Amino acid sequence: MKTKKRSRILFTALGIVVALPALSFGLSHLFPATTTREITIDAQPEQVWEVLSDLESFPQWHPTITTLSGEAVVGNTVAFTNEEGGSSISFTPTVLAAEPASELRWLGHVAFPGLMDGDHSFVLEPEGAGTRMTQSESFTGILGMFAPLFMDLGASFEASNQALANFVESKFQ
C-alpha cells in the first residue's frame, strides 16, 4: 500500500513539474507581457529609417546599447550588448522584419528558445510632417509572462525613443 501511495505522490509531483511550465508557456503566447512606448519625431519616416536601419550606429544615440553589429536584413542574426543599471547582457536576435521606412523587428531569446523570448519592434508611421515611432517588446516562453516582475522597459523605451528623436532631428534639420 505504501508503495502505491508513494508512486501516486511521485506521479502527481512529476505531473505538476511538467504541467506548470507547459501552462506558463501556453499562457504567455495567449497573453504576452508587452511594453510599448511611442514618440513623434520631427522627420520623415525615410529619415528615421536611415538612422534606425544603420544598426552599427545604435551606440551613437541609444542610451543603453553599447555595441550592435549586423545588418537589418530579414533572416540575419545581429549581436548587441545592452548595459543598464550597472549590469550588462548580450543578445543575438534574428531579424524578422526590415521594411524600409516602416518596420524593424527582431526576435531574441534568454538562454534558449522557449524559456523567455523577446519580440522587439520599431514601427514607423507618417504623422503630419513627421513620424510616429512605436517601440514595443512582447515576451513569451516559460518565463515570458514573468518578465515585468524583473524588468521595467517603459522608462528605457522612453529614454531611447527620445534619444533617437534627438539624433534624427539634429541630423536632418
User: Is there a contact between 167 and 48 (Cβ–Cβ < 8 Å)?
Assistant: no
Per-residue pLDDT, 151: 82
Tell me the C-alpha distance between 147 and 150, whole Å: 6
Q: What is the pTM of this model?
A: 0.85
Share of the chain above pLDDT 90, in %: 68
Tell me the C-alpha distance between 2 and 11, whole Å: 14
CATH homologous superfamily, domain 2-172? START domain (3.30.530.20)
pLDDT exceeds cutoff 70 at 61 = yes
CA nearest to 144, candidates 21, 33, 36: 33
pLDDT exceeds cutoff 60 at 73 = yes
Per-residue pLDDT, 141: 87
Task: Give the per-residue SS3 of the chain.
Answer: CHHHHHHHHHHHHHHHHHHHHHHHHHHHHHCCEEEEEEEEECCCHHHHHHHHCCHHHHHHHCCCEEEEECCCCCCCECEEEEEECCEEEEECCEEEEEECCCEEEEEEEECCCCCEEEEEEEEEEEECCEEEEEEEEEEECCCHHHHHHHCCHHHHHHHHHHHHHHHHHHHHC
Per-residue pLDDT, 144: 86
Neighbours of 95 (CB within 10 A): 19
